[in-house]
Amino acid sequence: MHIHPHPQFIDAAVYAIVAARNGLHVLLEGPSGSGLTTLARFVSDFCTKEIARQRKIVVPEVLLGPESTVKNMIGQFKSQEMRSNETDMTKLIKWENGPLLIAAESGIPVILDKIDEAKAQVTEILNPILEKNARRDQTPFLFPEKVEFTEQQIKEGFVVIATLTTNPNRQGQAISLAFRNRFVTIAVEHPELSDKFRTLFAQTVISKVAEKMKLINQEKLPLGIRTSIPKQDQINQLALAISASLP
């Protein structure tokens, strides 16, 4: 997992990792296209315990939206196939943990992407576990949906990493101040690219394309069409031209 090499992103990643490793829930806030989701994955990767890596437990991720429900986060009962001679009707349905409970049971981060797009009724389910630090406290998570075993013990290492997309045209607050205060908010902005960075990125992209072009079987191309692979000096010239044309 990699992030943008710009110092802004590196600083944001360091702040988020330090907070998350200390059991603090993180809110990454920035404009659309600023790499919030990638940064959240990068941070969660750093904060996942080695034992979870060995067990190949994948960090749960939820893309939230207006249609998201509590079930999308904590889980739900699902119907099961039964044998024809089965008489125990309790086996007809089985509880299946959602991303939030999977992360809580495993002691790993959970990513809640675009938390600002979820309804308040959905995000309210987070309040009990956001109130405490899972690193310092043995935090029980109570939820009535599961009926029988309504108390879920949250293991150390669990932390919520949420993203929030800023929108200057949005009327009102994206999330309530009380909800925001349960997180450590880290602002992420679009990187301010220098001419050197622009040229370097352009060179990297063109070079990768040139390497791919070498794999093309010229004999299988239509008659009259041949690929022309740019040399290094041509790549440099193209990169400079592209860099100069960017706003």
What is the pLDDT at residue 164? Answer: 95
Q: Which pair of tokens denotes residue 221?
A: 């191309």
pLDDT digits (tens, 9 = 90+) for 151-187: 677 888 899 999 999 987 787 788 888 889 899 999 9
- Does residue 1 form part of some domain? no
Tell me the whole-structure pTM to 2 decimals: 0.70
**Amino acid code (one letter) for 127:** N
For residues 36 and 105, membership in a common domain is answered with yes
For residues 182 and 236, membership in a common domain is answered with no
Sort 100 into a burial class: Cβ within 10 Å, 0-12 / 13-18 / 19+.
buried
Report how far residue 200's alpha carbon sits from residue 213's, in angstroms, rounded to the nearest whole number.
20
For residues 164 and 45, membership in a common domain is answered with yes
For residues 102 and 217, membership in a common domain is answered with no
pLDDT digits (tens, 9 = 90+) for 59-97: 899 999 999 988 888 888 787 776 666 666 566 777 888
Report how far residue 88's alpha carbon sits from residue 98's, in angstroms, rounded to the nearest whole number.
25
For residues 128 and 215, membership in a common domain is answered with no
For residues 31 and 75, membership in a common domain is answered with yes
